[in-house]
């Protein structure tokens, strides 16, 4: 009896294995195991109702994170988060005390360079007259040196005679106290008077000789003075092309320095590039700010978008202009509408999944939507 039960059990087991084998061998090829379906980062889903669902995030179509281009201490903040701003509004600024002084200095240098250039191009009548007078004076000095007048000779001779008489008188006074034999003679007033009289005589003699017989060095010096005066007059009345070019270059250099100083002041300020709303403020008053460090973010909340990623298998179903329904966890019960405005051209691969970015423009709505909030998008891809 036991033997029969064993065989019966073995027979049941063999029958079960045969049935399983038959089922496996006769299953259609389409029922074979398929590889896992690739799902894009945005969790794309294509349902039977001809729609594509995806998870993305809200973003402003016009959003900018602004920074100071210069380093410095934050002196002024004119806005707070949530404020509406307009293009050109001053949002924040650094301390520009030193920069403002550099602008003033550069402006003064430019004014000076411009004045010199203007004077070179159009000299004043008084400057021209003074230059002519200088030429005439140096020419008269040379003529007088070469051919002194009778009156000049008489004056020079009289000065020489007076100096000689004074020298004789001083010599007599010095001799009366013993002259050079007096051991203390050099310390007396008479010795000092004699020395002064001798110096005056030598001076008068040199002047007389210059009148009657000027040296070659004196003549060359006088001629050099004439040449310099004439050259100055020529530059004043007829400047060379090189002089004009040099003067203009000085003006341009000064203008560049002024522009740079003004740009440095501008780099110490943050100005709104467009209308929008302040959605983020970073630094605080008094803090030291590094150049290009993010400081303020403004966004146009009237033109919002949703950014999603679409896998390559779903991409063929999407077209520009297709309508979309959008919901947000942060706004329960609120539904937005939109449409596809852009399908990206550059695919990316993440964890083996290839996807392209797709942009959904959100239709105008009254509900506030903050950039960065998550959004569920359902796109109608039906015909």
> Residue 294: is its pLDDT beyond 80?
yes
> Residue 37: is its pLDDT beyond 70?
no
Residue 265's pLDDT band (boundaries 50, 70, 90)?
Answer: very high
**Which tens digits make up the pLDDT trace of 138-179?**
988 888 777 777 787 788 889 888 999 999 998 898 888 888
Are 180 and 203 members of one domain?
Answer: yes
In the predicted model, what is the mean pLDDT of residues 93-104?
96
Are 114 and 163 members of one domain?
Answer: yes
Percent over 90 (pLDDT), the chain: 50
Do residues 381 and 316 touch, judged by C-beta distance below 8 A?
no
312 domain residue, yes or no:
no
> Residue 48: is its pLDDT beyond 70?
no
364 domain residue, yes or no:
no
Are 72 and 210 members of one domain?
Answer: no
Are 239 and 279 members of one domain?
Answer: no
340 domain residue, yes or no:
no
Higher per-residue pLDDT: 48 or 281: 281
Instruction: Identify the CATH number of the domain in which residue 290 sits.
Output: 2.40.50.100
Higher per-residue pLDDT: 30 or 328: 328
Domain that holds residue 85: 64-95+268-298
Q: Specify the number of domains making up the chain.
A: 3
**Which tens digits make up the pLDDT trace of 174-224?**
888 888 888 887 788 988 898 999 999 899 888 888 777 777 887 889 889
Are 211 and 272 members of one domain?
Answer: no
> Residue 6: is its pLDDT beyond 70?
no
Nearest to 80, CA basis, from 268, 279, 287: 279
Are 145 and 166 members of one domain?
Answer: yes
pLDDT of residue 383: 53
Are 110 and 207 members of one domain?
Answer: yes
Residue 60's pLDDT band (boundaries 50, 70, 90)?
Answer: very high
- Which pTM value belongs to this model? 0.57
Rounded to 5 degrees, φ, ψ at 250 are -65, -40
Residue 304's pLDDT band (boundaries 50, 70, 90)?
Answer: very high
In the predicted model, what is the mean pLDDT of residues 347-375?
88
pLDDT of residue 41: 39
> Residue 112: is its pLDDT beyond 60?
yes
117 domain residue, yes or no:
yes
Are 233 and 277 members of one domain?
Answer: no
CA 47 to chain centre: 55
pLDDT of residue 298: 96
In the predicted model, what is the mean pLDDT of residues 22-49?
37
Are 23 and 115 members of one domain?
Answer: no
According to DSSP H, which parts of the chain are helical? 2-25, 97-121, 125-146, 150-176, 189-212, 216-237, 241-267, 312-315
pLDDT of residue 319: 93
Are 244 and 120 members of one domain?
Answer: yes
Are 149 and 192 members of one domain?
Answer: yes
Residue 135's pLDDT band (boundaries 50, 70, 90)?
Answer: confident
All residues at 6 or more sequence positions from 27 whose CB lies less than 8 Å from its CB, including other chains: none
Mean pLDDT, the chain, whole residue set = 84
- What whole-number distance in Å separates Cα of residue 189 and Cα of residue 336? 115
In the predicted model, what is the mean pLDDT of residues 216-244?
86
Are 117 and 25 members of one domain?
Answer: no
89 domain residue, yes or no:
yes
Pairing of strands 304-311, 353-362: antiparallel
């Amino acid at each position: 009896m036991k033997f029969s039960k064993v065989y019966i059990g073995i027979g049941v087991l063999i029958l079960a294995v045969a049935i399983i084998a038959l089922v496996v061998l006769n299953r259609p090829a389409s029922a074979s195991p398929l590889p896992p379906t690739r799902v894009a980062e945005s969790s794309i889903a294509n349902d039977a109702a001809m729609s594509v669902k995806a998870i993305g995030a809200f973003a402003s179509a016009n959003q900018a994170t602004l920074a100071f281009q210069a380093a410095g201490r934050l002196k002024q903040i004119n806005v707070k988060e949530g404020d509406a701003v307009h293009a050109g509004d001053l949002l924040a600024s650094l301390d520009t005390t030193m920069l403002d002084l550099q602008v003033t200095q550069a402006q003064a240098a430019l004014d000076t360079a411009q004045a010199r250039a203007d004077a070179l191009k159009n000299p004043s009548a008084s400057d021209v007259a003074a230059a002519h007078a200088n030429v005439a004076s140096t020419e008269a000095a040379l003529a007088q040196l070469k051919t002194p007048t009778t009156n000049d000779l008489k004056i020079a001779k009289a000065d020489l005679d007076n100096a000689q008489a004074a020298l004789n008188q001083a010599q007599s006074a010095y001799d009366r106290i013993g002259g050079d034999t007096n051991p203390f003679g050099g310390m007396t007033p008479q010795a000092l008077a004699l020395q002064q009289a001798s110096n005056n005589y030598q001076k008068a003699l040199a002047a007389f000789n210059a009148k009657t017989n000027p040296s070659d060095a004196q003549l060359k010096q006088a001629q050099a003075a004439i040449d310099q005066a004439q050259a100055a007059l020529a530059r004043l009345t007829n400047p060379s092309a090189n002089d004009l070019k040099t003067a203009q270059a000085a003006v341009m250099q000064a203008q560049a320095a002024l522009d740079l100083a003004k740009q440095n002041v501008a780099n110490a300020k943050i100005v709104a590039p467009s209308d929008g709303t302040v959605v983020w403020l970073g630094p605080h008053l008094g803090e030291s700010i590094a150049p290009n460090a993010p400081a303020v973010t403004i966004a146009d909340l009237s033109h919002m978008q949703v950014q999603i990623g679409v896998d390559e298998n779903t991409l063929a179903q999407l077209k520009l202009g297709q309508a979309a329904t959008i919901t947000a966890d942060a706004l329960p019960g609120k539904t937005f509408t939109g449409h596809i405005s852009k399908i990206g051209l550059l695919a990316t691969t993440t964890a083996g999944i290839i996807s392209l970015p797709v942009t959904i423009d959100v239709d105008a709505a009254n509900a506030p939507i903050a950039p960065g909030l998550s959004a569920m998008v359902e796109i109608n891809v039906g015909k």
